[in-house]
Structure 1
Amino acid sequence: MLPKYDYGDRVRVIRNVRDDGTFPGKAIGDFLVRRGSIGYVQNVGSFLQDEIIYSVHFLEENLVVGCREEELISGDDPWVPSKFEFRDKVITLITLSAKGEVIAEKGTEGQVLKIIRDRPEGVMYHIHFGDGRLFMIPEDALEFAPKKEREMKYSHDEAEENE
């Protein structure tokens, strides 16, 4: 079990990183680092003797976070940023159809279930519109769904607590 990265290596995290209960001063589930962020390996260790863990210093966030090897790529590897994340609520900007069947009218709300970054036509998403089927939709056909009143109230209450 040899580490892929060494001290000082520039790496990119490929998943959003949230606190799993091991980050001091944060609650479980708190957001720490956004996917695509660049950091530098400060230490290499192991977990349960079979999983390599890297301490990565993310300069922009000013955080040192433990990352598993499969969560990292070289900082020099190509990276395609995406507008939306897993579970984001989105709406269609146009009416979408497949084989002549309308699958979503303009403004239909759906949820991102997967991000596909390696398509020649650009970033695509697997979107669930609530009818049990998944569709691969291009990024430019989607926009963030407006927050519902209940979500807005929660966000407002949360903001007040943080002040």
Structure 2
Amino acid sequence: MLPQFEYGDEVRLIRNVRNDGTYPGMNTGALLMRRGAVGCVYDVGTYLQDQLIYRVHFLDEGRTIGCREEELILASAPWIPNLFEFRDDVIATRSLAVRGQVLVKRGQLGSIMKVLRDEPELGIQYHVHFGDGLVLQVPEQSLAMADSTAAIEEVLDGI
């Protein structure tokens, strides 16, 4: 089990990291670091003898956390930041249709279920729950944050 990253490497988180109960002073489940944050590896250890854990210092946030290898990429690797996260409330900035049938009207409220970033040529996409069991895959440019008054007014002005 050889580490992919070395001491001093700049790395980027590709997943949100939450407190699993081992970070002092914060509740279990609290968000420790958002995906996209860049930090510096300054220690590598193991957990249960089968997982590499990197101690990464995030200078901008002033926080050091343990990260699994699959949560990190080199900071120099291509990265497109996403605007929304799991459970964020969003509104559709345009009507959304499947096979010509409008399923979501412009301005309708939804909730982010999953961030999809596996196909860079498509850009950031999301699974969005729009109520009544309706979940659609929606490109980022078709959504706005629901708590953004300016975004809501802009969408509603166009209706």
TM score, norm. by length of structure 2: 0.86
Deviates more, 1:116-125 or 1:65-74: 116-125
**Secondary structure, in 3 states, of the residue corresponding to 2:66?**
strand
Counterpart amino acid of residue 33 in structure 2: V
Partner of 1:131: 132
Asked whether 1:104 is paired with 2:99, we answer no
Unaligned runs of 5+ in 2: 149-159
1:58 is displaced (CA, Å) by 0.4
1:140 counterpart letter in structure 2: Q
Equivalent residue, structure 2, for 1:53: 53
The letter for the 2-side match of 1:69 is: E
Task: Give the AA of the match of 2:51.
Answer: E
Which residue number corresponds to residue 79 of structure 2?
Answer: 79
Q: How many residues align?
A: 147
| Identical pairs, percent | 50
CA–CA separation in structure 2 for the residues paired with 1:54 and 1:122: 29
Secondary structure (helix, strand or coil) at the match of 1:140 reads helix
Extract unaligned runs of 5+ from structure 1: 148-163
1:75/1:119 CA distance change after superposition, 3 Å:
closer
Match of 2:156 in 1: none
For residue 146 of structure 1, report the CA deviation from its aligned partner: 3.4
Deviations 1:122-145 (A, max 9, x none): 221111212324312111111112
Q: What are the Cα deviations for residues 99-141 of structure 1, in whole angstroms up to 9, with x where unaligned?
A: 1111101111112122222342422111121232431211111
5 Å-filtered alignment, 1:1-163, equals: 1-117=1-117, 118-146=119-147
Q: Deviations over 1:22-43 (max 9, x none)?
A: 1122221222211001011110
Q: Which runs of 4+ in 1 moved over 3 A?
A: none
Q: Which whole-Å deviations, capped at 9, do the CAs of 1:39-79 have from their partners, x for residues lacking one?
A: 11110000000010000000100111000111111111111
Question: Which one-letter code corresponds to 2:128 in the other structure?
Answer: I
Distance of 1:29 and 1:103 partners within structure 2: 34
Q: What is the TM-score normalised by the length of structure 1?
A: 0.84
